[in-house]
């Protein structure tokens, strides 16, 4: 069977700035693909293009056998791609249950079904005790969890996670890793952005490295850790 | 070639544009610095017009009253910011829309209460004639109002571009957080923007009294035009407001002549809709 | 949901009893105005409160209903036909205008609504088939539901009460539906809403069409009540503003917000101003404008929001 997501030579320009300039990525079904790269490499922009939040300038995105580049954001979501935001985008005046219900309504138009689905999802991500808290009153870690729940409630085939582990305590990070494993266990494919390679190494099946908008590496975590181009992107040119 | 009334119309349009520019520059300045659209901008203009009327009753002609009216409006604008708008900024984004709309209703009500809905005008003794330039005839009041507006607009532009405070203001409108880090007092910049923005309508109000009459609801028409101008030029862009104003002045005068005076504002409003839909950042706005 | 229905029932009974007991035409007039404003404010609230797209152009829809009724009367049709065509016209305009304008947000959208309504007003003032700036005076007919003209104010209060109940019921249903959740999500964060499959423009359009229809219905009732339509008092910007402000004062996106806002408007602004002999001299505007300033600066969630906070605090304390 073919890969779930296949991005080929994506380009995205903001005026004269080339945020993406030859980004390619393949995500196999049921696997976790890690997307790493230095600050400003274009990782978030890549997610925005894949999810339909912005239109790429050029390039191809094939999801589940169909081309999706340039399709409206909400349409792409319905096809089964869900995302979280690096800078959290919560529904400030809605409770956790209400916000996740908005996600669940995508596949369950009846409110009672959607609320039940949302309640399950909230338990699943461990936000159960906060279900009646307003989005704006949550801690950052809980807001990130809420974003994961809202995305999961749409029952996606592909989940794009943008730095969900940033700023977590070691214990929280461990819980998050366990959660990721459970999500994978449900057959959901994950593409995940992280700054820090160490976080991804133990859980990623595959690593893609982005630098200055370009994919400079694609392979196993082990190979990534030993690739000179990757090291250079992270540490600067080798001293000779 | 027979040009007919066209040269006359073009000149009238541009002259009208200068006054619109002054009003719109005040609006766009406030918006640029703090992302607030002052829906009561027209009512500030109305106050300025009544003030000018008051000065004329004690014998001061509008042109001489202008600096006093502008100063009074400066103080009024800064005061309104300090006691009111500052609090709106702490609330949700709609709060500033409704808050300034509330101000619009309040000021209109006060004007109606104190001055009734009667239409009043200044006894303009100084400029009564007209100037002839070949086929073009311009009334002196229109000419003085337009040139006065142009002068004030240039002063404002020079202030924004070339003074320390003006630069601080531009820095604030470009990036508020960076401005704070650079040690700019954002609260002071905001109050100043309200003061200067209001002083613009102060000057415009004084000049308008040469050619217009004042009544409590006079602001609405000008404010709407100012919104169009500001959107056309790009919200927050001072130069854009100037260019937009002249365009609007032309559209209004030409529409009034070639279609009908009664519907002269329809092309102006259509222009707004077309511009914000096709080019939301306006003609000169940045994105 | 149940509490909303109970409060609605109690409110309707109370208003009906009040209308039956007081004989004072001034008070009945105020009650009618308050109910009509509650309807207008709620219809506006669907788009501008729940979905957060602030319209300052609802007078246009109000005018569709009013002129529909007036034209029917002018040409000797049943007023019900006029009401229906007014509603259809309002919905059609909402569709045509909403589709492009919902690409805009914030003040861009608000100013666009002002511009559209202003174009409508100028058009009507210059349209012969609508009798231009003069407006239309209704021909009197024998009283009854068929002609929708009555000799007393009491039937009007009951008619407005029925429409009010209908609109409140619709809002309760909205709050407990997918659409209600979607509109609130769009208001909170349109981008995040799209990320979970919400087509903001389509839902906003539905809300606007419903809102336009209900506003037109209220416009028809108002025209039949006053038996005259003039562009200046039906279509001008102040009408749009008062519709919006009823919604704001009460509290955006809240079931009882518009009703509380309308009550405040009718009894505070109009009543107090009349008592002080200042209506027509702008005192009502002063009181109301001042109130809006206070609410915007101090309690942006409006009266209903404040009441809610009080209850929440009591529950926490007790
Ligand atoms: N909307 C935008 N307009 C203009 N430039 C943008 C926009 N969004 C991103 N950029 C620019 O594109 C480049 C890539 O940004 P992006 O946020 O995708 O990087 P990133 O890899 O996610 O960085 P980080 O690790 O800091 O999250 C940056 O230079 C950024 O400034
Ligand atoms: Mg990023």
The pairing of beta strand A158-162 with beta strand A189-193? parallel
CB atoms A77 and C185 under 8 Å: no
A1 — pLDDT class (breaks 50, 70, 90): low
Degrees, nearest 5: CA angle B155-B160-B164: 115
Residues C38-58, buried b or exposed e (16+ Cβ, 10 A)?
A: bbbbbbbbbbbbbbbbbbbbb
Q: Atom 30 in ligand 1: which residue has the minimum CA distance?
A: A40
Interface size B-C, in CB pairs within 8 Å, comes to 139
- Mutation to test the C interface, candidates B41, B234, B271, B273, most C Cβ within 10 Å: B273
Question: Looking at residue B287, what is its pLDDT?
Answer: 46
The pLDDT value recorded for residue C238 is 82
Atom 9 of ligand 1, residue of closest alpha carbon: A45
In angstroms, what separates the C-alpha of B84 from chain C's closest C-alpha?
7
Q: Is residue B259 part of a domain?
A: yes
Give pLDDT, residue B142. Answer: 81
**B93 reaches C (C-beta below 8 A):** yes
pLDDT at C142: 82
What kind and span of H or E run contains B207? helix B186-208
Average pLDDT for A138-145: 90
Residue having the nearest C-alpha atom to atom 14 of ligand 1: A42
Q: How confident is the model at residue C75 (pLDDT cuts 50, 70, 90)?
A: very high
Domain count, chain B: 1
Interface test with C, best of A91, A104, A109, A138 (most C CBs within 10 A): A91
Q: How far apart are CA A154 and CA A102, in angstroms?
A: 9
**Phi, psi of B214, deg, nearest 5:** -115, 140
Q: Provide the number of structural domains found in chain A.
A: 2
Q: What is the pLDDT of residue C41?
A: 96
Domain-ending residue, one of A155, A180, A208: A155
Q: What is the spatial order of strands in the sheet that A66-67 belongs to? A: A17-27, A5-14, A58-63, A66-67
Same structural domain, A103 and A164? no
A70 and A92 in a common domain: no
- Average pLDDT of the segment spanning A12-25: 91
Could you read off the pLDDT of B83-96 as tens digits, one per residue?
A: 999 999 888 777 88
Cβ-Cβ contacts under 8 Å, A117 against chain C: none
Q: How distant, in Å, are the alpha carbons of A102, A125, A133, A147, C18 from that of A142?
A: 17, 10, 11, 9, 50
pLDDT above 70 as % of chain C: 95
Q: What is the pLDDT of residue A239?
A: 60
- Residues A165, A75: one domain? yes
Give the per-residue pLDDT at B199: 94
Distance of alpha carbon A141 from its chain centroid, rounded?
A: 16
- CA–CA gap between residue B78 and residue B83 (Å, rounded): 9
For residue A57, report the distance from its CA to the centre of ligand 1, in Å.
15
Point out the domain boundary residue: A155, A183, A206: A155
Mutate to test the interface with C, among B41, B94, B215, B222 (most CBs of C within 10 A): B94
Residues whose CB falls within 8 Å of the CB of residue A135, separated by 6 or more in sequence, listed in order: A90, A91, A92, A93, A94, A95, A96, A99, A143, A146, C188
Per-residue three-class SS string for B220-280: HHHHHHHHHHHHHHCCCCHHHHHHHHHHHHHHHHHHHHHCCHHHCHHHHHHHHHHHHHHCC
> What does DSSP assign to residue C179?
H
Tens digits of per-residue pLDDT, A49-91? 999 999 999 999 999 989 999 899 999 999 999 999 999 999 9
Q: Note the pLDDT of residue B163.
A: 86
Residue nearest to atom 6 of ligand 1 (CA): A14
From A36, A41, A160, mutation site for ligand 1 pocket: most ligand atoms within 8 A of C-beta? A41
- Which residues sit with their C-beta closer than 6 Å to ligand 1? A 14, 17, 19, 37, 39-45, 86, 195
Nearest residue to A28 (alpha-carbon basis) of A222, A190, A203, A194: A190
| CB spacing of C241 vs B277 below 8 angstroms | no
For CA atoms C71, C75, C78, C84, the dihedral sign is negative
For ligand 2, the distance from its centroid to the CA atom of residue A42, given in whole angstroms, is: 7
> What pLDDT does residue B84 have?
93
State which residue of chain C sits closest to A113, comparing Cα positions. C178
Q: Whose CA is nearest to atom 8 of ligand 1?
A: A45
CB contact under 8 A, C192 and A89: yes
Domain stop point among A97, A131, A155? A155
Chain B CB contacts of C125 under 8 Å are: 262
Which one of B110, B270, B280 has the shortest CB-CB distance to C286? B110
Give how far Cα C108 sits from Cα of A149, B217, B230, Å. Answer: 33, 23, 11
Residues of chain B numbered 24-83 and touching chain C (CB < 8 Å): 37
Two structure tokens written together for B122? 């200044």
Q: Which top CATH class is C17-317? A: mainly alpha
> Which protein residue has the closest C-alpha to ligand 1 atom 3?
A14
Find chain C residues with C-beta within 8 A of A138's C-beta. none
Given its phi and psi angles, is residue B235 left (phi above 0), alpha (psi -120 to 50 degrees) or beta?
Answer: beta
The count of other CB atoms within 10 Å of the CB of residue C14 is 10
**pLDDT, position B153:** 86
Range of the domain at A113: 86-155
CA B94–ligand 2 middle distance (angstroms) = 29
Q: Which residues of C touch A109 (CB under 8 A)?
A: 178
d(Cα A53, Cα A67) in Å, to the nearest integer?
Answer: 15
The whole-angstrom separation of Cα A32 and Cα A208 is 11
Cβ contacts of A81 on chain C, cutoff 8 Å? none
Round the average pLDDT of chain C to a whole number and report it: 90
| Statement: residue A224 has pLDDT above 90 | no
Asked whether the beta carbons of residue A154 and residue C188 sit closer than 8 angstroms, the reply is no
Task: Please name the residue that has the structure tokens 């300034």.
Answer: B100
Residue of C nearest to A104 (CA): C196
Spatial CB neighbours of C89, under 8 Å, sequence gap ≥ 6: C64, C68, C216
Domain presence at residue B128: no
Helices (H) and strands (E) in chain B, counts: 12, 2
Measure the CA–CA gap between B30 and B103, rounded to whole angstroms: 16
Instruction: Give every CB contact of residue C88 below 8 A, 6+ residues apart in sequence.
Output: none
More confident residue, A32 or B156: A32
**Which of C297, C298, C302 to mutate to probe the B interface, most B CBs <10 Å?**
C297
Residues A42 and A23 in one domain: yes
Q: A170: burial class by Cβ within 10 Å (0-12, 13-18, 19+)?
A: exposed
- B82: closest chain C residue by CA: C297
CATH number at residue A27: 3.40.50.300
Chain A neighbours (≥3 Cβ pairs under 8 A) are: C
Residue identifier of the C-alpha nearest atom 18 of ligand 1: A42
Q: Could you tell me if B259 lies within 8 Å of chain C, comparing CB atoms?
A: no
Q: Residue C241: what pLDDT?
A: 86
ipTM of this complex prediction, to 2 decimal places: 0.92
Burial of C139 (0-12, 13-18, 19+ CB in 10 A): exposed
What pLDDT band is residue C287 in, cutting at 50, 70 and 90? confident
Helix or strand run (H / E) with residue C227: none
Is C286 in Cβ contact with B260 (below 8 Å)?
no
What distance in angstroms lies between residue A29's CA and the mean position of ligand 1's atoms? Answer: 28
Question: How do residues C185-226 score in pLDDT, each as one tens digit?
Answer: 999 999 999 999 999 999 999 999 999 999 999 999 999 999
C274 CB-side CA count, 13 A: 10
Q: Tell me which residue has tokens 């219809």.
A: C43
Chain B environment of C110 (Cβ under 8 Å): 37, 97
- Span from the CA of A44 to the centroid of ligand 1 (angstroms): 7
Answer whether residue C308 shows pLDDT above 90: no
Assigned token pair, B246: 């002249």
Contact C289, C264 (CB under 8 A): no
Q: Do C197 and A153 touch (CB under 8 A)?
A: no
Residue B62 belongs to domain spanning: 6-113+139-278
Chains that touch C (3 or more CB pairs under 8 A): A, B
DSSP label of A218: E
pLDDT, block means (10 residues), chain B with 287 residues: 73 84 89 86 95 91 90 96 91 82 91 88 75 77 82 86 83 78 82 92 91 88 86 82 88 83 86 84 64
Name the residue at shortest CA distance from atom 26 of ligand 1.
A39
Which chain C residues contact residue B97 at CB under 8 A? Answer: 54, 106-107, 110
Compute the average pLDDT of residues A17-43: 92
Q: Which residue of B has its CA nearest to C52?
A: B94
The DSSP output letter for A206 is E
Position A193 scores a pLDDT of: 93
Neighbours of B33 (CB within 10 A): 27
Which has the closest alpha carbon to B192: B171, B211, B165, B167? B165
């Amino acid at each position: 069977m073919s890969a779930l997501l296949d991005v080929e030579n994506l380009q995205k320009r903001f005026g004269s700035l080339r945020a993406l300039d030859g980004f390619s990525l393949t995500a196999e079904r049921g696997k976790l693909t890690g997307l790493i790269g230095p600050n400003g490499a274009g990782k978030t922009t890549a997610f925005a293009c894949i999810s339909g939040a912005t239109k790429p300038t050029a390039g191809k995105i094939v999801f589940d056998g169909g081309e999706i580049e340039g399709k409206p954001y909400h349409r792409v979501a319905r096809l089964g791609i869900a995302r979280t935001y690096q800078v959290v985008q919560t529904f400030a005046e809605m409770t956790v249950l209400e916000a996740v219900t908005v996600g669940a309504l995508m596949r369950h138009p009846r409110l009672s079904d959607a609320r039940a689905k949302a309640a399950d999802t909230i338990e699943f991500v461990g936000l159960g005790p906060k279900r009646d808290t307003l989005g704006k009153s949550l801690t950052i870690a809980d807001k990130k969890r809420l974003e994961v729940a809202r995305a999961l409630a749409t029952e996606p085939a592909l989940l794009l996670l943008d730095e969900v582990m940033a700023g977590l305590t070691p214990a929280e990070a461990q819980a998050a890793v366990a959660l990721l494993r459970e999500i994978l266990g449900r057959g959901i494919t994950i593409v995940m952005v992280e700054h820090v390679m160490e976080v991804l190494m133990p859980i990623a099946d595959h690593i893609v490295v982005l630098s200055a908008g370009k994919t400079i590496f694609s392979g196993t975590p082990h190979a990534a850790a030993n690739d000179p181009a990757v090291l250079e992107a992270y540490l600067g040119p080798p001293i000779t | 070639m027979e040009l007919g009334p066209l040269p006359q119309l073009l000149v009238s349009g541009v002259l009208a544009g200068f006054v619109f520019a002054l009003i719109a520059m005040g609006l766009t300045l406030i918006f640029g610095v703090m992302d607030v659209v002052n829906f009561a901008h027209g009512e500030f203009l109305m106050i300025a017009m009544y003030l000018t009327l008051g000065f004329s009753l004690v014998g001061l002609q509008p042109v001489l009253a202008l600096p006093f009216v502008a100063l009074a409006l400066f103080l009024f604008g800064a005061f309104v910011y300090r006691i009111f708008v500052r609090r709106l900024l702490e609330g949700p984004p709609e709060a500033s829309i409704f808050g300034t709309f509330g101000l619009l209703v309040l000021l209109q009500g006060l004007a109606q209460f104190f001055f009734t809905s009667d239409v009043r005008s200044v006894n303009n003794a100084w400029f009564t004639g007209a100037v002839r330039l070949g086929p073009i005839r311009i009334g002196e009041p229109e000419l003085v109002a337009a040139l006065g507006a142009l002068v004030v607009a240039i002063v404002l532009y020079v202030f924004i571009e070339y003074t320390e405070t003006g630069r601080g203001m531009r820095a604030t409108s470009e990036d508020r957080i960076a401005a704070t880090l650079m040690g700019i007092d954002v609260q002071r910049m905001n109050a100043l923007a309200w003061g200067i923005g209001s002083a613009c309508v102060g000057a415009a109000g004084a000049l308008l009294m040469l050619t217009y009459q004042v009544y409590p609801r006079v602001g609405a028409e000008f404010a709407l035009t100012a919104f169009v101008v500001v959107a056309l030029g790009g919200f927050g862009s001072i130069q854009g407001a100037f260019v937009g104003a002249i365009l609007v002045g032309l559209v209004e005068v030409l529409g009034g002549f070639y279609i009908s005076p009664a519907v002269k504002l329809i092309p102006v409003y259509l222009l707004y809709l077309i511009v914000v839909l096709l080019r939301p950042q306006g003609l000169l706005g940045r994105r | 949901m149940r509490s909303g229905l109970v409060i609605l029932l109690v409110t309707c009974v109370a208003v009906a009893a009040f209308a039956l007991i007081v004989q004072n035409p001034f008070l009945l007039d105020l009650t009618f105005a308050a109910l009509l404003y509650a309807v207008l404010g709620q219809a506006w609230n669907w788009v501008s409160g729940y979905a957060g797209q602030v319209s300052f152009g609802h007078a246009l829809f109000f005018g569709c209903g009013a002129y529909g009724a007036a034209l029917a009367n002018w040409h000797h049709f049943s007023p019900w036909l006029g009401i229906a065509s007014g509603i259809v016209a309002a919905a059609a305009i909402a569709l045509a205008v909403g589709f492009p304008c919902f690409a805009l947000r914030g003040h861009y959208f608000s100013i666009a609504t002002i511009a559209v309504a202003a174009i409508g007003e100028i058009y009507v003032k210059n349209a012969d088939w609508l009798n231009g700036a003069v407006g239309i005076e209704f021909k009197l007919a024998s009283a009854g539901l068929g002609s929708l003209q009555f000799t007393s104010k009491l039937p009007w209060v009951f008619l407005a009460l029925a429409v009010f109940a209908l609109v409140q019921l619709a809002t309760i249903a909205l709050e407990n539906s997918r659409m209600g959740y979607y509109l609130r999500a769009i208001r909170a964060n349109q981008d995040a809403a799209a990320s979970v499959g919400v087509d903001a423009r389509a839902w906003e359009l539905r809300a606007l069409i419903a809102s336009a229809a209900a506003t037109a219905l209220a416009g028809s009732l108002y025209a039949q009540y006053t038996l005259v339509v003039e562009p200046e008092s039906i279509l001008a910007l102040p009408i749009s503003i008062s519709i919006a402000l009823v919604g704001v004062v009460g509290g955006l996106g809240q079931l009882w917000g518009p009703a509380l806002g309308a009550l405040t408007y009718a009894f505070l602004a109009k009543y107090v101003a009349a008592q002080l002999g200042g209506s027509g001299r702008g005192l009502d505007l002063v009181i109301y404008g001042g109130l809006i300033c206070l609410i915007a600066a101090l309690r942006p969630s409006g009266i209903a929001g404040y009441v809610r906070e009080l209850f929440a605090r009591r529950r926490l304390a007790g």
